[in-house]
């Protein structure tokens, strides 16, 4: 199940937090987990979702959810999608999934112009 994998991975990240992983990275993974959980609850009226059922449509709907319900800007939404992709890679590596749902999903960040401080 998707959230089971997410939470198990995040707990491992927490144990590495402050050692080989920044605390902010661990926090971002937990935020992403909460967003995925909220998405599954609202979209599918379920407590969790089978990893093998995740497809391109699921990912596109998750991105849309992040941009509309969570009010994330384009680049932030895609960063959370990339965090989610890492969990999918874990599922693929452990053969819990038959196919890669990210195969035709392209992530393209918008260029950001930053002002320099004087």
Question: What does the alpha-carbon distance between residue 83 and residue 79 come to, in Å, rounded to a whole number?
Answer: 6
Among candidates 67, 65, 64, 59, which has minimal Cα distance to 100?
A: 59
Architecture of domain 2-93: Orthogonal Bundle (1.10)
**What are the residues facing 17 on neighbouring strands?**
21
What are the tens digits of pLDDT across the range 59-76? 999 999 999 999 999 999
pLDDT score recorded for residue 106:
86
Other CB atoms within 10 Å distance of the CB of residue 84: 26
Report domain extents, the chain.
2-93
Among candidates 112, 2, 108, 110, which has minimal Cα distance to 55?
A: 2
The DSSP code sequence of 68-106 is HTS---HHHHHHHHHHHHHHHHHHHHTT--SS-TTTT--
Which letter does DSSP use for residue 116 in this model?
P
pLDDT score recorded for residue 109:
86
With a cut of 70, which residues of the chain have pLDDT below it?
Answer: none
The Cα-based distances of 111 to 74, 75, 106 in angstroms read 11, 9, 16
pLDDT score recorded for residue 29:
92
């Amino acid at each position: 199940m998707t959230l089971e994998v997410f939470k198990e991975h995040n707990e491992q990240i927490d144990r590495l937090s402050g050692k080989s992983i920044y605390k902010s990275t661990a926090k971002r993974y937990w935020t992403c987990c909460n967003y995925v959980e909220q998405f599954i609850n609202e979209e599918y009226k379920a407590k969790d979702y089978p990893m093998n059922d995740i497809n391109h449509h699921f990912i596109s709907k998750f991105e849309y959810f992040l941009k509309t319900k969570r009010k994330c800007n384009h680049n932030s939404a895609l960063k959370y999608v990339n965090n989610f992709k890492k969990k999918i890679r874990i599922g693929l590596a452990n053969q819990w999934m038959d196919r890669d749902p990210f195969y035709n999903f392209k992530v393209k960040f918008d260029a950001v112009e930053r002002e320099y401080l004087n």
